[in-house]
Amino acid sequence: MELSLQPQSDRLGITVNAPRIDAQAAVKFKDAVHTACGNDHSWIILDFANVDFVDSSGLGAIVSIKKHIGKGRRVDLASLGPAVEKVFRLTRMDSVFRIYPTLDDAMADDAAD
Amino acid sequence: MTRQTDTRYIHTRLQTFADVRHALDDLCHRLSNDINDATKVAEIEIVLAEILNNIVEHGGTSAYQYPVEISWDIGTEIAFMICDTGRPYPQLRLPAPDLPNCDDLPEGGFGWGMIQMICHAVSYQRVNGANLLRFSFETETLKP
């Protein structure tokens, strides 16, 4: 899965360049993000501007990234489209992540907490 | 004015998640011909994705020996019926719609909760070796 990386001081923006994080893509997505994260950043922002669709497998992969890859560091989300936002809202997983309108908003956020 | 009910259907073999993607693509294209509301089509896609993924994940080999039949009646609401020859549901009933607790950072178990929140009148029957699942969506945005 193709990712674009935007490192900036303490944080790393990861833009997912795939339209779907679904049952077919979930494992590849998780592995790609794992490889991209490295150890240099304490705050990971997953940018879903190019993602139209997330199913429960995709949601599980995103939570898994926070739980395992994000251990000891922050993982947040940016640019959820309407269908993706709906899945987060219905499952109440929107309470687990900070959700920024855009990646730029997350990159410009000075308040760490 | 009462709208006449139209029935549409597709038959599709579902063995892999790639097959599910193709089926969803086809279904959403067909639904967009009748429903003038992209948000509604997106909601329906979420439900169909969960159900079709479940067939691939839990249906076993008997699930893809025959095509899955997906039919939907378009009238005052959209009423779906999905028939697959996969393994019967556990205890021959619908799984509980409970969502896992967010605080535990659950990595799965969201599917049936989402299905039951988005659509209504969800029912399950095991008939002649097939799973028969019915569910409906309200919509006020059907194209004339």
A86 to chain B: which residues are within 8 Å by CB?
A: 42-43, 46
Q: How many structural domains comprise chain A?
A: 1
8-state DSSP, A68: I
Find the CATH number of the domain harbouring A11: 3.30.750.24
- Is the pLDDT at B1 greater than 60? The verdict is no
A53, two tokens: 């669709």
CATH of the domain at B60: 3.30.565.10
Domain of residue B111 covers: 7-138
Assess if residue B109 is contained within a domain.
yes
Averaged pLDDT score across all residues of chain B: 92
What confidence category does residue B3 fall into, taking pLDDT thresholds of 50, 70 and 90?
low
Nearest-Cα residue of chain B relative to residue A67: B105
Identify whether B35 is part of a domain: yes
A113 part of a folded domain: no
Task: Name the closest residue on chain A to residue B109, using Cα atoms.
Answer: A56
Say if B13 falls within a structural domain.
yes
- A54-71 average pLDDT score: 91
**Residue A55 sits at the chain B interface (C-beta within 8 Å):** yes
Q: Long-range contacts: A93-98, Cβ < 8 Å, 24+?
A: A93/A59, A93/A62, A93/A63, A93/B102, A93/B110, A95/B102, A96/A63, A96/A66, A96/B102, A96/B105, A97/A66
In a domain, B144, yes or no: no
In this prediction, what percent of chain A has a pLDDT beyond 70? 96
